[in-house]
A and B are shown apart, each in its own frame.
Chain A
């Protein structure tokens, strides 16, 4: 079975109270647990225990968690990751709060990815019996759920190979230097039917570019922009639209400098989705299809 989805992002923050204020009052997540100095957060339309983990001290990515479809799959992915040449370790139930046995893999680009199947159920805030459209007490941007992450790699092609060969991800879009002699600059990959569940762009190993939350539509993106303005959150780019994925977006920075995105739209994929290719001379349009321009920050800030 394919990998289910990006289940959690675990990041470092320099100041916990400021970070919690950002992820709750500005973005609208709720604190579900505080254990051993780590704060666990969940969005209103998520049902697993948590989707974001904050850890005080430094900045940047600790690990990504991908939820797989069955316990049997864990063993299969573990074997394949070892054959691929990755460092792989077993993770015991409870090592990640509320999460069962799993497998921890160090990507060829250095980031840590934990795979797991079992996780405590938290439930959507609107419930599962005759639910309302959205929770009346949602605050801030009221993000719906964690959507995807974009990581950096000095050799994106190797990481693309890993996600394809080990985890059965498929490629929705790629940016290459020259179609005749392609050197991979970026790749967007999916495990289900989304435009992407992971993306990789050329950059320093072991760094994250951003992680993204889902919103309902363009109106909610604009409203999120208003909230970010009210809370004086530094904006990187947007509101605008991506060429890759056709999604609508705003990029901004949390109080520690980790880049977040609010994201919506884009197309559906599937196992037979034909990969879309962009060439480097159209990189601006690939990333932002309206302005067709990249700012320096977007391609140089990684945490």
Chain B
């Protein structure tokens, strides 16, 4: 279950395979040594979407394609 508002660090710690999906989506900085453990603790998929200009729908679709469940935020 991928909660879009959790930090990337937490998510990747829990689901290591998520890293590959994120790289495929264009979050390339995640592979830089030390990035995940620092900025990753403050980065969420939502922030990343804004920052990297990657559409949230694209992210959700890719996550689903790669077999993740996505937890939608409560309105």
B is a partner of A: no
